[in-house]
Amino acid sequence: YLNPRMSDKKMNGISKINGTEGKAPFLIGVSGGTASGKSTVCKRIMEKLGQVDMDQAQRQVICISQDSFYRELTPTEISKAEKGQFNFDHPDAFNETLLLETLQDILAGKIVQIPTYDYRHHSLNKDEFLTIYPADVVLFEGILVFYFPEIRKLFHMKLFVDTDSDTRLARRVPRDINERGRDLEQVLNQYMNFVKPAFEEFCFPTKKFADVIIPRGADNTVAIDLIVQHIREILLNKGRKSEERTLVLPSPAFVRTP
Ligand code: CTP
């Protein structure tokens, strides 16, 4: 039995791996409006499963953000973005094809590399990739992860983080100013012109596709505990299955029927 993570290390971390059937992860989509607490919900889930203080390659549960799949902007679009006049909340802002192909590769148990996103420059970090190793559970979070039908149907479980819009705005303003290098006027203009209308048109309607709706986001420890419990059962079953695969069966004469 070849541990896929080991085989990847031997292959220098970039190549896709073969022979990983059965390693298809349980794919969980986590959506919700901007600053609803999607990343914090994912972080809590990973903490409760003891996955945080662990080497990336050894994790059984990993988290990916849809922001890694923003498409590259043209110079004109970048100058619009710098004035808060580009719509980052519209489905067209994303590279849907790359998103779909990457999730399909992940579901096929392949090692993939995804870019990281730079909010200050509105661009993908070309030299900073995250290597995603095969895991048992993959959390995929973003404002529009349930919007594209072909992508939506890939999820085994869909969560929607449902936080009041005033709470979300109150979180988003200081975050954009302190962490994303924006000024107040730009943040509020972008919010009123693009973020809020796009949430109502594209994100909120996808709530109906969710299996579980989490009111109040990461504060909702009861909901998070229930989800964690469910993931634990999945991990346990996956563990059992892989033990079955590696079991060397005795010759038929020794097999006892129950
Ligand atoms: N965005 C932006 N500038 C960019 C790219 C994206 O302002 N160059 C904004 C979009 O307007 C979008 C938001 O980033 O509304 C998406 O990120 P968000 O969902 O708010 O961040 P997360 O940390 O993933 O979400 P949460 O706070 O729910 O954890």
Contacts for 112 with CB less than 8 Å, ≥ 6 apart = 16, 102, 105, 106, 131, 132
Quick check: 19 pLDDT over 80?
no
Asked whether the beta carbons of 141 and 210 are under 8 A apart, the reply is: no
Q: Say what percent of the chain tops pLDDT 90.
A: 71
Residue-wise pLDDT for 124-164, tens only, equals 987 888 899 999 999 999 999 999 999 999 999 999 999 99
Instruction: Note the ipTM here.
Output: 0.97
Answer left, alpha or beta for residue 257, where phi above 0 means left and psi between -120 and 50 means alpha: beta
Residues with Cβ within 8 Å of 178's Cβ and at least 6 positions away in sequence, in order, are none
Please say whether the structural domain 13-238 has been given the CATH code 1.10.3720.10.
Answer: no
**Site of tokens 């579980």:** 212
For the chain, percent of residues with pLDDT exceeding 70: 84
- Enumerate the domain spans of the chain: 13-238
Residue 14 predicted with pLDDT over 60:
no
Cα distances from 147 to residues 13, 96, 106, 143, 168, in angstroms, run: 32, 10, 19, 9, 20
> What is the average per-residue pLDDT within 67-74?
96
pLDDT at res. 244:
65
- Mean pLDDT (whole number) for 193-198: 98
Distance 17 CA to ligand 1 centre (A): 32
C-alpha of residue 160 to centroid of ligand 1, in Å: 15
Distance from the alpha carbon of residue 64 to the mean position of ligand 1, in angstroms: 14
Q: In sequence order, what are the beta bridge partners of 61?
A: 137
Q: What is the pLDDT of residue 246?
A: 54
Give the CA dihedral 243, 245, 248, 250, nearest 10 degrees. 100
Segments of the chain assigned E as strands: 26-32, 61-65, 112-118, 123-132, 137-141, 157-162, 212-215
* Structure confidence at residue 239 as a pLDDT band (50, 70, 90): confident
Residue 35 pLDDT > 80, yes or no?
yes
195 lines ligand 1 (CB under 6 A): yes
- Residue 141's DSSP bridge partners are 30, 65
66 lines ligand 1 (CB under 6 A): no
Mean pLDDT over each residue of the chain, to the nearest integer: 86
